[in-house]
Amino acid sequence: MKKLFLASSFAGTASLLPEFAGGNLAGKRAVFIPTASSHEMSDQEREILTFVNSADKEALQKLGLVVEDLEISIKPYEVIEKSISNADCILVGGGSTFFLLQELKRNGVDKLISQHIKKSKLYIGSSAGSLLMQKNIVADGMDAPNIGSELNGDFSALGFIDFYLYVHYGSHYWGDDDERFNEYYAKLDCKKLSDKQAVTIDDERIEIVTAP
């Protein structure tokens, strides 16, 4: 049993979460993992990602959730394990998917998160956090693989979905979206998600939902 809410932008789709999660979320506990945005980057990139992650975190809080920041690249494993175990849901934010994957694998948090997903804990992905659920991460130019240099070319991810995601479709953050999609994803089973869309997976039931 798995319960996944995979968005391009959680802030853009947060209004859809309560219905998927089964009702009122007030008082529930969430861990927010911003690790994908914790690598070295330019000041401009830092400003953008700080805004995006703040928006995702605030969206959780507006739904009534009690949110704990959990930076897995610096926290001891015992602290990470306790925080995730005590939470009702996990939100993994955006940034570099390769750096996120590297840090998860480096300290075994990839396996910890997988264990909790298998126990039906609600997992929420925003951008990189959503791509993490694929079988592997596609080096499509959106994100530099060398940011996760310790991966040594092993881009295998958590593998909870058997399709791929093209996030931020229509936003043109990386140029022509259709051109990039055709180059890297046309031969793959891939779902395009705008910043107002999410894929919800409730066990084997898969649906694309769109926020108003």
Of 116, 107, 122, 104, the closest CA to residue 21 belongs to 122
Beta pairing, strands 89-92 & 29-33: parallel
Rounded distance between C-alpha atoms, residue 86 and residue 58, angstroms: 20
* CB distance 101 to 129 below 8 Å: no
Cβ–Cβ under 8 Å, residues 165 and 45: no
Catalytic residue among 8, 38, 96, 127: 127
Whether 172 is catalytic is no
Report d(CA 117, CA 176) in Å as an integer: 34
Determine which one of 168, 171, 172, 194 is catalytic.
168
Tell me, yes or no, if 127 is annotated catalytic. Answer: yes
Q: Which residue has the tokens 């959990």?
A: 70
Q: How far apart are CA 39 and CA 55, in angstroms?
A: 19
Active site residues: 127, 168
